[in-house]
């Protein structure tokens, strides 16, 4: 049989600048093709070109044949008929794909009616069926919800339901899980695979995440600078890459399954946090704000870091990781609990002592573009903490070039502005700024999550080197567990603002005891098709979304999603409901911890 989609010699230019060059792809019926590449490699442009969805400033040349029918240069009318019925799309940001003012169910029904001659009632029925198929609980009820009432993961499921509505031949998914947490990502990928099986459609999956591709794709095409540099079966590409670029890419991906000897804790304690809490008022109204509740953003976090040690703080989005960091950095008495920095309790610290502490703790932010003042030359940016600490001109003039060199930048570029640097270089500027006052504890809030894998590897290496050279301690926040495995000595897992498990990195990764940690680790896809497929069968899929932090829970706050609880006896279950498990030192905050290997 001829392939369902055949792309040959596809070129895309944006305002004359080439974005895609000579791309050739074939998609057989019912197969999953993974299109993988770093940002700017042209993967999305390729996917959008297939559907003729590129913006007006793009020029497309070449040929895209859908079942023999040429799509490049086809009229808008023809394309509209194809979109949604024969080819449907799942975008990265599902919020933008739904119209905010219509109910989800109606929008899916609308999609059904656009291409099928059915009654309104039948279409609505079908919408509910579809929502049920993608695992939305109480689909009949939820069909009446508006898009903003759905969480990110649910919206993505609804999007998939809509994509399935007309039994398409091809589903095009562009970074469908990039904005989601790992546990939700695992759910959505599972749904996507189900959808593909149910409809028998071919799936073109575009992603920068090699793990996602490895677990789902039958065949893989690797893109780099607008070209497909290598393609083949997933196993071939991942296990026997031929092209140097693919080899480099695969080597740069941090992997969760490579053990690394963590440093045994040696030095004195740098940071000690006990029972930290932070609540935000929940306000309503625009002119007169009324307090209608509280967000318990941090609600019992414990941390311990020693000199020369890297502690990774992991958890899903909204679990309170950043809030914890910001509480530390305020250097003010915390709302609840205690923070001890270098042996000084933050409660009852004088002005002079606070100032002295400032020098010893510095921060590196997630988004290097946002955290550097766009109107300041990087030399000034790096010098700012020094200046604040009262260093004189001569010292600053001497230190700044040395700092830039230390993080691998050219000191001659000190007079340039941030926008003249690449993402990875900007993050190096951020690191140089933090290092300028010779801190002892560096707080890193997702320092590499905005970077491409190859750039990320460089920055991680730099951090590792600096730690050894300068004897720093790191508090490293990340949601990427593969990165954590590769840099951390100890790990602390938070769920809904509370520490649930902590311990040495190999202990936590190889013998996790808390059911949440197990689910988290099990959800991380490995860039290894063979192992990933084996893992998929035993994957722990968490039900639902993380509960809202605006409520306080009696008993264990994980119990609604806990995969272990249904297997417990009556008495034990009662205990989970009534008694909150406490976290003390290393170990898991669970009444019934049991080791389960998931990596």
Ligand X SMILES: Nc1ncnc2c1ncn2[C@@H]1O[C@H](COP(=O)(O)OP(=O)(O)OP(=O)(O)O)[C@@H](O)[C@H]1O
By CB under 8 A, name the binding residues for another protein. 326, 329, 355, 358, 362-363, 365-367, 370-377, 379-380, 383-385, 388-389, 393-394, 396-398, 400-402, 405-406, 410-412, 414-420, 433
Q: Does 317 participate in binding ligand X (rule CB under 6 A)?
A: yes
Q: Which CB atom, from 345 or from 415, has the smaller least distance to another protein? A: 415
Residue of 322, 362, 427, 492 that binds Mg ion (CB under 5 A) = 322
Give the CA distances from residue 32 to residues 83, 154, 216, in Å, rounded to whole numbers and listed in that order: 19, 23, 7
Q: Which of residues 244-303 bind ligand X (CB under 6 A)?
A: 280, 295, 297
Residue partners of 336: CB distance under 8 A and separation at least 6: 275, 276, 277, 278
For the chain, first and last CA: distance in Å?
40
Burial of 390 (0-12, 13-18, 19+ CB in 10 A): exposed
Q: Which CB atom, from 306 or from 514, has the smaller least distance to ligand SF4? A: 514
Six-digit token string for 516: 């949440």
Q: Does 324 participate in binding Mg ion (rule CB under 5 A)?
A: no
Pattern of binders to ligand X over 448-487, x per CB under 6 A?
-------------------------------x--------
Q: How far is the CB of 597 from ligand SF4 (least distance, A)?
A: 18
Q: Which CB atom, from 14 or from 326, has the smaller least distance to ligand X? A: 326
Six-digit token string for 517: 């940690």
Q: How far is the CB of 562 from ligand SF4 (least distance, A)?
A: 3
Q: Does 319 participate in binding ligand X (rule CB under 6 A)?
A: yes
Q: Does 498 participate in binding ligand X (rule CB under 6 A)?
A: no
385 touches which of ligand SF4, another protein, Mg ion, none (CB within 5 to 8 A by kind)? another protein
Q: DSSP string spanning 243-263? A: SHHHHHHHHHS--TTS---PP
Q: How far is the CB of 337 from ligand X (least distance, A)?
A: 15
Q: Does 549 participate in binding ligand X (rule CB under 6 A)?
A: yes
Q: DSSP string spanning 101-129? A: TS-HHHHHHHHHHHHS---HHHHHHHHHH
Q: How far is the CB of 323 from another protein (least distance, A)?
A: 13
Q: Does 139 participate in binding ligand X (rule CB under 6 A)?
A: no
Q: Which CB atom, from 321 or from 426, has the smaller least distance to ligand X? A: 321
Q: Which CB atom, from 254 or from 315, has the smaller least distance to ligand X? A: 315
Count of residues of this chain found to bind Mg ion when the rule CB under 5 A is applied: 1
Q: Which CB atom, from 383 or from 519, has the smaller least distance to ligand X? A: 519
| Residue indicated by tokens 């002892």 | 440
| Residue indicated by tokens 């008993």 | 555
Neighbour order of strands in the sheet with 5-14: 17-27, 5-14, 58-66, 69-70
Q: How far is the CB of 315 from ligand X (least distance, A)?
A: 6
Cα R_g (the chain), whole angstroms: 26
Q: Does 135 participate in binding ligand X (rule CB under 6 A)?
A: no
Q: Which CB atom, from 21 or from 591, has the smaller least distance to ligand SF4? A: 591
Beta strands 32-37; 219-224: pairing state: parallel
Using CB atoms, what's the residue nearest to Mg ion? Answer: 322
Q: How far is the CB of 559 from ligand SF4 (least distance, A)?
A: 4
Residue of 226, 315, 546, 581 that binds ligand X (CB under 6 A) = 315
Residue partners of 122: CB distance under 8 A and separation at least 6: none
Q: How far is the CB of 409 from another protein (least distance, A)?
A: 9
Minimal CA–CA distance to 165: which of 239, 234, 88? 88
335, 320 in Cβ contact below 8 A?
A: no
Which region, judged by CB under 5 A, interacts with Mg ion, from 14-22, 113-121, 154-162, 319-327?
319-327
Q: Which CB atom, from 320 or from 334, has the smaller least distance to ligand X? A: 320
Burial of 281 (0-12, 13-18, 19+ CB in 10 A): exposed
Q: Which CB atom, from 98 or from 558, has the smaller least distance to ligand SF4? A: 558
Which backbone phi and psi does 539 adopt, to 5 degrees?
-65, 135
Six-digit token string for 448: 């590499």
Residues that bind ligand SF4 (CB under 6 A): 515, 556, 558-559, 562, 564-565, 576, 581, 590-592
**Length of the chain (residues):** 599
Six-digit token string for 71: 């799509």
| Residue indicated by tokens 């607008």 | 226
106 touches which of ligand X, ligand SF4, another protein, none (CB within 5 to 8 A by kind)? none
Residue partners of 492: CB distance under 8 A and separation at least 6: 302, 303, 311, 312, 313, 314, 499, 501, 502
* Residue ranges in contact with Mg ion by CB under 5 A: 322
* Residue ranges in contact with ligand X by CB under 6 A: 280, 295, 297, 315, 317-323, 479, 549
């Amino acid at each position: 049989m001829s392939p369902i989609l055949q792309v040959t010699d596809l070129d895309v230019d944006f305002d004359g600048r080439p974005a895609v060059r000579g791309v050739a792809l074939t998609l057989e019926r019912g197969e999953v093709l993974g299109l993988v590449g770093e940002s700017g490699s042209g993967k999305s442009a390729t996917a959008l070109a297939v559907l003729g969805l590129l913006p007006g400033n793009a020029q497309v040349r070449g040929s895209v044949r859908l079942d023999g029918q040429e799509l490049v240069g086809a009229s808008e009318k023809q394309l509209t008929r194809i979109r949604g019925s024969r080819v449907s799309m799942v975008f990265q940001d599902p919020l933008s794909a739904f119209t905010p003012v219509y109910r989800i169910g109606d929008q899916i029904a609308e999609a059904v009616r656009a291409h099928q001659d059915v009654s309104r009632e039948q279409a609505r029925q079908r919408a509910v069926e579809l929502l049920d198929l993608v695992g939305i609980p109480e689909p009949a009820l939820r069909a009446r919800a508006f898009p903003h009432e759905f969480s990110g993961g649910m919206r993505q499921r609804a999007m998939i339901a809509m994509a399935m509505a007309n039994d398409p031949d091809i589903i095009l998914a562009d970074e469908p899980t990039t904005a989601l947490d790992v546990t939700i990502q695992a759910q959505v990928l599972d749904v996507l695979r189900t959808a593909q099986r149910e409809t028998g459609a071919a799936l073109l999956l575009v992603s920068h995440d090699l793990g996602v591709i490895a677990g789902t794709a039958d065949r893989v095409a690797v893109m780099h600078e607008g070209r497909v540099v290598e393609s083949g079966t997933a196993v071939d590409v991942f296990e026997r890459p031929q092209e140097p670029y693919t080899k480099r890419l695969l080597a740069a991906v941090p992997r969760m399954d490579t053990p690394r000897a963590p440093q045994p804790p040696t030095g004195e304690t740098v940071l000690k946090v006990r029972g930290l809490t932070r609540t935000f008022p929940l306000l309503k109204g625009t002119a007169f704000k009324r307090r209608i509740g509280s967000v318990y953003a941090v609600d019992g976090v414990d941390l311990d870091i020693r000199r020369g040690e890297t502690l990774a703080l992991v958890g899903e989005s909204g679990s309170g990781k950043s809030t914890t960091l910001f509480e530390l950095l305020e250097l003010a008495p915390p709302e609840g609990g205690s923070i001890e920095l270098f042996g000084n309790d933050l409660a009852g610290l004088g002005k002079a002592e606070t100032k002295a502490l400032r020098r010893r703790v510095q921060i590196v932010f997630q988004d290097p573009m946002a955290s550097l003042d766009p109107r300041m030359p990087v030399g000034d940016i790096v010098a700012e903490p020094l200046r604040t600490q009262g260093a004189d001109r001569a010292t600053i003039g001497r230190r700044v070039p040395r700092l830039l060199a230390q993080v691998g930048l050219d000191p001659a570029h000190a007079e340039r502005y941030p926008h003249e640097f690449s993402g990875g270089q900007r993050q190096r500027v951020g690191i140089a700024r933090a290092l300028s006052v010779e801190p002892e504890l560096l707080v890193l809030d997702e320092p590499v999550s905005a970077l491409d894998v190859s750039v990320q590897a460089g920055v991680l290496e730099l951090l590792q080197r600096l730690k050894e050279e300068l004897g720093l301690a790191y508090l490293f926040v990340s949601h990427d567990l593969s990165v954590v495995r590769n840099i951390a000595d100890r790990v602390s897992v938070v769920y809904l603002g509370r520490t649930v498990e902590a311990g040495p990195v190999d202990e936590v990764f190889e013998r996790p005891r808390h059911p949440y940690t197990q689910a988290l680790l099990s959800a991380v896809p490995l860039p290894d098709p063979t192992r990933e497929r084996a893992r998929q069968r035993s994957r722990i899929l968490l039900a639902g979304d993380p509960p809202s932090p605006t409520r306080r829970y009696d008993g264990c706050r994980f119990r609604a999603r806990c995969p272990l609880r249904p297997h417990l006896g009556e008495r034990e279950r009662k205990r989970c409901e009534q008694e909150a498990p406490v976290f003390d030192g290393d170990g898991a905050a669970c009444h019934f911890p049991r080791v389960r290997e998931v990596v």
